[in-house]
Amino acid sequence: MNVLEITQQLPLSDEPLLEPHLLAESAQEAAKAFIAGGTAANTVRSYQSALTYWSAWLRLRYGVALGDKALPAELVIQFIVDHLARPLEDGSWTHLLPASIDAALVAARVKAKPGPLAHSTVSHRLAVLSKWHRLNDWDSPVEMPAVKTLLRDARKAQVRQGITVRKKTAVVAEPLQAMLATCTDGVRGIRDRSLLLLTWSGGGRRRSEVVAMQIGDVRALDADTWLYALGATKTDSSGARREKPLRGQAAVALAEWLAVAPADSGPLFRRMFKGDKVSTLGLSTDQVARIVKRRAKLADLDGNWAAHSLRSGFVTEAGRQGVPLAEVMAMTEHRSVGTVMGYFQVGTLLNSRATTLLAEPLTPPDQREHEHG
């Protein structure tokens, strides 16, 4: 009997789903260890969301609580087959999560909609569970060979059936300029232009870093150069201030924004009210993402746009223009070469002569011999 057959025989729980607020409290308790470890706030929120889901699924499937003891590998395998779609012989797709439990998870607002989850979502929730086990000094079931093999084989099966990871579209120079060209709508446009340019030209800043910036974090160095300071970020939780330069269009745009929305303190980028009135409240990370999507829509750009598009676009464009990888990483503050290399290589290949070998018609061999005769 294989692992899938074993997990299909595991009994379902008749326990009722916990109330959403109780699930949230449970996850908050579980997330305290992450917070104590100095993890970035946005990362903690994603961990808390994942742990909330684990709490709900465990209660519904098995009637057990998260955190009482280490989970067995068989249970984690059940989680995978419950949530990853797999192809059937007739060409349709299925997953093993019972419809009643699926509906209950949606009703509790821990799941957005019925149906399978993306492979990346399942992988993230497994990674959070693994970290939770390590923090409790338990052996992680996610590291068991059977779990790793199943997750890898599931990904291969999905790829063979045409399911691929849809990455966010990178904002390279041309779409960035198209977005900037839409920023003609008064003070809102001035703010959005400055935000887009600082985020992109300033090293592809994460949206969490952008909303955390304060008025006191920026200063003019000269007429064409500003500096902005970063504190604690996803990859540097020390809190040490590191200054990065803004030049050219980005420096001009920042000066224009501060001129129309002057302030002595508070968030650098603030919310807007009707009539071009600037609030004292800072933008949220979701609002930064909506600004990027709105400007892409106004520019009539096709693609899967998000706040991360600016970060990936900066790296891609840097590779396209031949900027050394070390200089790029000094600006982005990526710690892993592997993380940044994919975007960088794509940009490098965009201008590679290897991609234009047939750009000009080839001269027939006999003609070449005649020309050199």
Tell me the domains of the chain and their CATH numbers: 3-160 (no CATH), 173-354 (1.10.443.10)
Written as six digits, the tokens of 166 are: 């849809």
In DSSP terms, 220 is beta-bridged to: 226
| Residue 7, pLDDT score | 38
| Residue 18, pLDDT score | 46
Please compute the mean of the pLDDT values over residues 69-97 and round it to a whole number.
83
Residue located via tokens 């198209």: 178
- How are beta strands 218-222 and 93-94 bridged, if at all? unpaired
| Residue 3, pLDDT score | 36
**Which residues does 123 contact at the CB level (< 8 Å), separation at least 6?**
151
Give the 3-state secondary structure of residue 69. coil
Ranges 21-25, 126-130, 366-370, most confident: 126-130
Task: Compute the mean pLDDT over every residue in the chain, rounded to the nearest whole number.
Answer: 82
Task: For residues 61 and 115, give the distance between their C-alpha atoms in angstroms, rounded to a whole number.
Answer: 16
| Residue 165, pLDDT score | 55
pLDDT band at 4 (very low <50, low <70, confident <90, very high): very low
pLDDT band at 141 (very low <50, low <70, confident <90, very high): very high
Q: For 17-21, 104-108, 126-130, 212-216, which range has the lowest pLDDT when averaged over its residues?
A: 17-21
Please compute the mean of the pLDDT values over residues 152-179 and round it to a whole number.
79
CA distances to 108, 265, 270, 292 from 285, in Å: 24, 20, 12, 11
| Residue 299, pLDDT score | 95
Say if residues 93 and 104 touch (Cβ distance below 8 Å). Answer: no
| Residue 9, pLDDT score | 45
Q: Is residue 245 within a helix (H) or strand (E), and if so which, with residue range?
A: strand 242-247
| Residue 26, pLDDT score | 52
In tens, the pLDDT along 296-311 reads 999 999 988 999 999 9
In tens, the pLDDT along 245-259 reads 999 999 999 999 999
| Residue 46, pLDDT score | 80
